């Protein structure tokens, strides 16, 4: 088969959500990337195989493709997509239990997002870093990070995505503060009130609390 025919079969499998069907052509992935016309095409190809690996539970393999995708997006100066790609790498590494790697890439995503005012990416990256801090026992840093992420939600361009982020962050923030010494009751009450108000205003599912 020609590379064009291979890519057509990959896309058919992708559209059918046949992830194993996508990965059946992984042996031709390198050739497809090398044959691509430009960095945007290369990024698209890498993203397809990364997505298939995420769907089949191989976060480490997905991260390897996503790291290459990030490089391609930077080369064609698609910095918003590059920042989100960095966050995707972090998420894939977290799924693979590589928490040190996840922290590195979340930090990269946050820094790039802050430089270019990509608020949604910044919020997601800060949220992920803060949850990791709490999970690893750095509660003070985690709470500070959650408060910062909550502030950034005010600037997220997509209103619906902003609402979901508010709900998730508040849920994690209240949980982190409960039982902590020195936390004022008024602070908790204010956060709980904001959570209830946000939940009532939104009909979508509340993001699950992270264990």
Q: Which residue has the tokens 């990337």?
A: 33
Count of CB atoms situated within 10 Å of the CB of 204: 10
Give the integer Cα–Cα distance in Å for 142 and 6. 46
Cβ–Cβ < 8 Å for 86, 95: no
DSSP string, 56-88: TT-HHHHHHHHHHHHHHHHHTT-HHHHHHHHHH
In terms of pTM, does the model score above 0.85?
A: yes
Reference 82, options 128, 56, 47, 55; nearest CA is 47
Give the integer Cα–Cα distance in Å for 60 and 27. 17
Cβ–Cβ < 8 Å for 106, 123: no
All residues at 6 or more sequence positions from 85 whose CB lies less than 8 Å from its CB, including other chains: 43, 66, 69, 70, 73
Give the integer Cα–Cα distance in Å for 10 and 20. 10
Give the integer Cα–Cα distance in Å for 73 and 196. 39
Per-residue pLDDT tens for 156-178?
999 889 999 999 999 999 988 88
4 class by beta-carbon count within 10 Å (0-12 exposed, 13-18 middle, 19+ buried): exposed
pLDDT in tens, the chain (211 residues): 899 999 999 999 999 999 999 999 999 999 999 998 899 999 999 999 999 999 999 999 999 999 999 999 999 999 999 999 999 999 999 999 999 999 999 999 999 999 999 999 999 999 999 999 999 999 999 999 999 999 999 999 998 899 999 999 999 999 888 867 767 767 878 888 888 888 877 654 545 444 3
Give the integer Cα–Cα distance in Å for 191 and 168. 12
Mean pLDDT of the chain: 92
Give the integer Cα–Cα distance in Å for 191 and 125. 21
Convert 121-155 to b/e letters by CB count within 10 Å (16 or more is b).
bbbbbbbbbbbbbbeeeeeeebbebbebbbebbee
């Amino acid at each position: 088969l020609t590379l064009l025919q291979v890519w057509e079969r990959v896309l058919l499998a992708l559209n059918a959500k046949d992830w194993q069907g996508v990965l059946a052509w992984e042996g031709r992935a390198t050739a497809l990337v090398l044959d691509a016309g430009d960095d945007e095409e290369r990024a698209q190809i890498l993203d397809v195989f990364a997505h298939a690996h995420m769907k089949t539970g191989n976060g480490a393999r997905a991260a390897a493709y996503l790291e290459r995708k990030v490089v391609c997006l930077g080369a064609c100066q698609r910095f918003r997509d590059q920042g989100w790609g960095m966050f995707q790498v972090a998420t894939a590494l977290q799924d693979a239990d590589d928490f040190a790697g996840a922290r590195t890439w979340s930090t990269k995503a946050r820094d790039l997002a802050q430089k270019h005012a990509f608020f949604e990416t910044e919020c997601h990256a800060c949220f992920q870093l803060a949850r990791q801090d709490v999970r690893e026992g750095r509660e003070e840093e985690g709470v500070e990070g959650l408060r910062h992420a909550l502030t950034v939600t005010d600037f997220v361009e997509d209103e619906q995505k902003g609402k979901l982020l508010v709900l998730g962050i508040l849920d994690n923030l209240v949980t982190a503060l409960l039982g902590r010494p020195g936390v004022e009751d008024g602070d908790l009450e204010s956060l709980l009130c904001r959570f209830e108000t946000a939940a009532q205003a939104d009909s979508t599912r509340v993001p699950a609390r992270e264990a």
